[in-house]
Amino acid sequence: MQALVPKHANKGNSKPRTTSAEQQFFDRAVQRYLTPQRPSVAAAYEFYESVIRAENTKLLGDRVSPISYRAFLDRINRLPPYEVMKARYGKHRADVEFDAVRSHIPPERVLERVEIDHTPLDIILLDDELHIPLGRAFLTLLVDSFSKCVVGFHIGYKEPSYYSVKMALLNAMRPKEEICKRFSQLKNDWPCHGKIETLVVDNGAEFWSKSLEQACLEVVTDIQFNPVKRPWLKPLVERMYRTINQKLLIDIPGKTFSNILEKEDYDPAKDAIVRFSTFVEVFHRWIIDVYHMDADSRLKGIPYWSWQKSVERLPPLPLSDEDQRKLEIVLAQSDYRHHRRGGIHIHNLRYDSDEFAAYRKYNTVNRGRGEQPTLLVKTNPDDLSSIHVYVEQLQGYLSVPCVDPVGYTKGLSLQQHKVNCRLHREFIKGQLDLDSLAQVRMALHQRIEQEAEEIKAGKRSGKVKQAAKLARQQNVSSAGTGTVVPEPLDGALVPAKAVESEPALPSQDEWDEMVSELKPYESS
């Protein structure tokens, strides 16, 4: 009966010759093939043949015959695929390729789960007034998992930090009526606002900050951290970036490429024609009138109508007028400071008032001998003229102004103050005081104005090397200004009694070196 069984598998030379001597050389070739350098099969086979030839020169008896390249390739292909990918591409890549694909519980209402992330925009934008290329801005985006609506965003030149998260959250949670009035050509409204239940973030330093943790205790129910190297668990915001690049930025002059090899001879800086404020308007119109009103690729729904249907069934928890008024305070940078004689000392500045001093008189007991009460302090990084201190007895925040007789902190940002402090150390080399800092601020303001005048007069080329750093210094963003040209300073800023040695204007090289060392606003 066995004679009648077909044995087609035994036809031909399908079974490669295998000897113990030859096998050890093959094993050495496999070890060379399974490395992170990822040599080709041909290179591994060449090594395999070379080792055998070198060994044969030492043998006196029977020589080892190498198998053919085809037989070698067949053996390589029979190796366990997971182990091959793990050795050549790493465990993470192998796990992604071979692990089971599971699903998560889908949300049942809007704002139940909102994803947030940052990315540099693939487009070069121009300064509103100088028309010089500023480089690629950063986009911080929040996408609702249920409706797929964009609930808020922030565009600016400060690198991703808690400041970006704060501005995007403010934009997401507040009503959008004022934004719709700002852009009169909008055809639809932007109904997305309310309290976020779960904010899904990655493991960036800005999302692990104490400021975000403190803010979310009051305005967000929960924070969900995405596991490292698992972007598919936060798919909507990742896919949204691809949609923006493929549908909005695809044909705009000045578009760049995420992969530098795709650029070839194309120079986006030379072709850039879109001013920053124009792009902010275009981005709003595309989100509200195009993306929200268009069906997804699988025709499962339209974001705007998905939001409206969910709101009719179960509206998100709205923010009261009082919550909206204090939302910017709650989302500000959080620090803890001692309340001592002279008030609060923070950012090399002092904050105090009669009301705050009266609070200190009656609320420093039962804290331990020699200890001062530690208070929660909120700093608005766009305006250092005052801080907000949480007062337990009031169950709210008390505004405390800066002790600033010369008006130095009026309209001053934390980023600008850090630059001024460094200039003060470089040029004054003395004790920190507001008079000398006011002088430094005027000198820096004059240096930026001089830069702008030189560009307008054509004395310098339109391609400015440090334009993006100037944009960070002047807070060019969707919530700020669209140009690096500074606004005129109040003449009362400089006191009548000038300091003995007025700081000189920094040169272009000194300015570039100074700004390059500044880090974006972050909170530990």
> What CATH homologous superfamily does 2-98 map to?
Homeodomain-like (1.10.10.60)
How large a percentage of the chain has pLDDT more than 90?
23
Q: Is the pLDDT of residue 32 over 70?
A: yes
3-state secondary structure of 276: helix
Question: Is the pLDDT higher at 461 or at 107?
Answer: 107
- Tell me how far the alpha carbon of residue 510 is from its chain's centroid: 28
Interatomic CA distance for residues 502 and 490, integer angstroms: 18
Tens-place pLDDT, residues 461-476: 544 456 777 777 777 8
* pLDDT higher than threshold 50 for residue 523: no
- What phi and psi values does residue 224 have, to the nearest 5 degrees? -115, 120
Rounded Cα–Cα distance for residues 444 and 436 (Å):
12
User: Who has greater pLDDT, 394 or 518?
Assistant: 394
Which pLDDT belongs to residue 474? 74
DSSP string, 211-266: HHHHHHHHHEEEEEEPPTT-GGGSHHHHHHHHHIIIIISTTSTTB--SSGGGTTT-
Average the pLDDT over 282-303 and give the result. Answer: 88
> In which residue are the tokens 């089971």 written?
100
Question: Minimum mean pLDDT among 30-39, 99-108, 164-173, 232-241: which range?
Answer: 99-108
Residue 521: the pLDDT is 44
Position 507 confidence tier, pLDDT thresholds 50, 70, 90? low
Indicate if the alpha-carbon torsion angle 138, 140, 145, 148 is positive or negative.
negative
Residue 445 backbone class (left: φ over 0; alpha: ψ -120 to 50; beta: rest)? alpha
**Residue 181 CB contacts under 8 Å (≥ 6 apart), including other chains:** none
Q: What is the pLDDT at residue 223? A: 84
Q: Output the pTM of the full model.
A: 0.72
> Got the DSSP string for 116-184?
EEEEE-SB-EE-TTT--EEEPPEEEEEEETTT--EEEEEEESSPSSHHHHHHHHHHHHS--HHHHHHST
The DSSP secondary structure of 432-444, one letter per residue, reads --HHHHHHHHHHH
Mean pLDDT score of the chain, rounded to an integer? 79
Residues forming CATH 1.10.10.60 domain(s) in the chain: 2-98
Q: Answer yes or no: are the C-beta atoms of 186 and 341 closer than 8 Å.
A: no
**Could you report the per-residue pLDDT of 186-214, keeping only the tens digit for each?**
899 999 998 898 898 887 777 888 888 88
Residue 420, SS3 per DSSP = helix
Mean pLDDT is lowest, of 130-139, 201-210, 478-487, for 478-487
Residue 368 has pLDDT above 60, yes or no: no
On the question of pLDDT at 304 being above 90, the answer is yes
Greatest mean pLDDT among 241-250, 286-295, 393-402, 515-524 lies in: 286-295
pLDDT band at 257 (very low <50, low <70, confident <90, very high): low
Measured in residues, the chain has a length of 524
Q: Say which residue, 76 or 262, is predicted with more confidence.
A: 76
What's the pLDDT at 510?
57
Coil, strand, or helix at residue 86?
helix
Residue 134: predicted pLDDT: 86
Find how far residue 115's CA is from the centre of its chain. 13
- 509 pLDDT more than 80: no
Lowest-confidence segment of 68-77, 144-153, 176-185 by average pLDDT? 176-185
Does the structure show a pLDDT above 60 at 455?
yes
Contact in structure between 415 and 381 (CB atoms under 8 Å): yes
Which of 133-137, 279-283, 307-311, 369-373 bottoms out in mean pLDDT, i.e. has the lowest?
A: 369-373
Architecture of domain 114-326: 2-Layer Sandwich (3.30)
* 408: pLDDT strictly greater than 70: yes
CA atoms of 146 and 310, how far apart (whole Å): 9
Specify the residue for token string 């001062």: 372
Which segments of the chain belong to CATH 3.30.420.10? 114-326
What letter would DSSP give residue 491? G
Residue type, 382: D
